[in-house]
Amino acid sequence: MLVVKCPVCGAEGDETDFHAGGQAHVRRPATTDPAHVTDEEQRDYLFIRINPKGLHFERWRCDRGCGKWFHAARDTVTMEFKAFYGITELPPMDVIAQAKGQWAEYFEHRLKSEHKA
């Protein structure tokens, strides 16, 4: 059993009160540049997901509470939640620092691009 806490309304409860919504931070390429979306980008957006052993970032919904979506950082080995954060937010910096592999690459790229903008 996972104990989830919604960062929007503060409801804390069993995972059955919530709904897991898959991998977090998946970006739809057509949102930024609909005219130049390659087949590979669209394929990656639809089907290719990270399946890490260790720290993972997911979308959850406060299904039997306030009904809002939010993000969670969870360790897939220990099932421990590291952080809950808003749907438009990035994880806390100390959690980002623990990310490995593809997630580390993703956040490095993301932080760099946000720094530029």
Partner 1 sequence: MSELSYQSPLAGITAPSGLSISIREITERGMIDLRGLTSDAAFMSAVKGVLGMDLPTRPRTSVSWGDVKVLWLSIDQWLILSSRSKAHELLAILRDALKGIHSLVVDVSDMRAVIRIEGEGCREVLMKGTSLDLLDKEYVQGCCRRMRYAEIAALLDVVEDNVFDIYVFRSYTHYTWNFLCATAKAPAKLKLFGAQEVPA
> Which residues are near partner 1 by CB under 8 A?
8-11, 13-14, 16-17, 63-68
Nearer to partner 1, 56 or 63 (CB): 63
Minimum CB separation of residue 77 from partner 1 in Å reads 25
Nearer to partner 1, 15 or 44 (CB): 15
Q: Identify the burial level of 24 via C-beta atoms within 10 angstroms of its C-beta, where 0-12 means exposed, 13-18 middle and 19 or more buried.
A: buried
Minimum CB separation of residue 46 from partner 1 in Å reads 30
Minimum CB separation of residue 21 from partner 1 in Å reads 17
Minimum CB separation of residue 68 from partner 1 in Å reads 7
Query: How far, in Å, CA of 46 to CA of 93, rounded?
Result: 28
Nearer to partner 1, 69 or 106 (CB): 69
One-letter amino acid at 98 equals: Q
Nearer to partner 1, 67 or 92 (CB): 67
Is residue 16 left, alpha or beta, with left meaning phi > 0 and alpha meaning psi from -120 to 50?
alpha
One-letter amino acid at 107 equals: F
Query: How far, in Å, CA of 85 to CA of 64, rounded?
Result: 18
